[in-house]
């Protein structure tokens, strides 16, 4: 029996489903801080374990005490292949943890170029602002990850960016109010 039934990648559902020879789901209890076995498989980039856990019915959206899902863990560890597996199995690409970080924020913060590419390929929202007022691009800039910053261009982001930079005020990072960055510009 095949482990996967592949389909087409969509934004509304998983790209494949898992076939199982057992009617009983694999039990994946929680450990310290609410982390599950799937969190640990994602942490270690263990594709085989993650596949078996998902096949056995592990909850892809299980969160630990900080609201972190397995996708967050994989992204923070620059585990591009694991992110791909989790996304194909139906993980919410733009889920946020208690700090307001998405998987894209975490991948950008660790300099994970390959993982950022995977997340962008699956349609990760680039303009989500986390609890510190940063987009994924802002996080990468702050950490000095030029390769990631290059993948997240600011073109078309906000007309006020140039004005703020001209006054040495930095980036608005979506804090001004309406639209993508919250600013409303009136051209007379």
Contacts of the segment 49-53: beta carbons below 8 A, 24+ positions apart: 50/82, 50/85, 50/86, 51/3, 51/18, 51/85, 52/26, 53/26, 53/28
Cα–Cα distance, 17 to 140 (Å, whole number):
34
User: Is the per-residue pLDDT at 84 higher than 60?
Assistant: yes
Can you give the pLDDT at residue 153? 80
The domains of the chain are located at: 4-153, 155-188
- Contact of 83 with 103, CB cutoff 8 Å: yes
pTM for this one? 0.69
Which of 11-15, 50-54, 72-76, 89-93 is least confident? 11-15
- Domain 4-153, CATH 1.25.40.20 — does that match? yes
User: Is the per-residue pLDDT at 91 higher than 50?
Assistant: yes
List pLDDT tens digits, range 107-142.
Answer: 999 999 999 999 999 999 998 999 999 999 999 999
């Amino acid at each position: 029996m095949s482990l996967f039934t592949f389909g087409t990648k969509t934004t509304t559902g998983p790209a494949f489903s898992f076939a199982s020879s057992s009617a009983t789901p694999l039990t994946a209890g929680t450990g310290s801080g609410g982390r599950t076995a799937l969190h640990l498989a994602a942490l270690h980039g263990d594709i085989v374990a993650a596949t078996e856990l998902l096949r056995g019915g592990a909850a892809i959206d299980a969160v630990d005490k900080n609201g972190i899902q397995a996708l967050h863990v994989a992204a923070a560890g620059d585990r591009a292949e694991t992110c791909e597996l989790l996304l194909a199995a139906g993980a919410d690409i733009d889920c946020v943890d208690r700090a307001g970080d998405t998987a894209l924020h975490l991948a950008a913060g660790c300099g994970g170029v390959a993982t950022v590419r995977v997340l962008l390929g699956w349609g990760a929202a680039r303009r989500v602002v986390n609890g510190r007022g940063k987009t994924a691009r802002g996080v990468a800039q702050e950490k000095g990850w030029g390769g990631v910053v290059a993948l997240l261009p600011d073109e078309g982001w906000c007309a006020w960016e140039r004005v703020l930079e001209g006054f040495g005020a930095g980036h608005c990072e979506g804090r001004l109010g309406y639209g993508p960055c919250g600013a409303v510009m009136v051209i007379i």
